[in-house]
Structure 1
Amino acid sequence: MRPFEAIVEEHGARVLRVCRAMVGPVDAEDAWSETFLSALIAYPRLQPDSDVTAWLVTIAHRKAVDILRARSRSAIPVEEVPERASALGVPDAGDGDLWASVAALPERQRLAVAYHYLGGLPHRETAELIGGSTDSVRRAAADGIAALRKTYTTGTDEGTERRSS
Structure 2
Amino acid sequence: AVVLRVCRFIVGMNDAEDAWMDTFISAMRAYPDLPLDANVQAWLVRIAHNRSIDLVRNRGRQPIPIADLPDRIDDLGQSSGERHDIWILVGELPPKQRQAIAYHYLGGLPFREVAAILGGTPEAARKAASDGVKALRITINPAQRKQTA
- Normalising by structure 2, what TM-score? 0.44
Structure number with the higher helix fraction is 2
Which structure ranks higher in relative contact order (CA pairs < 8 Å, sequence separation ≥ 6)?
2
Which has the greater radius of gyration?
Answer: 1
TM-score, structure 1 normalization: 0.39
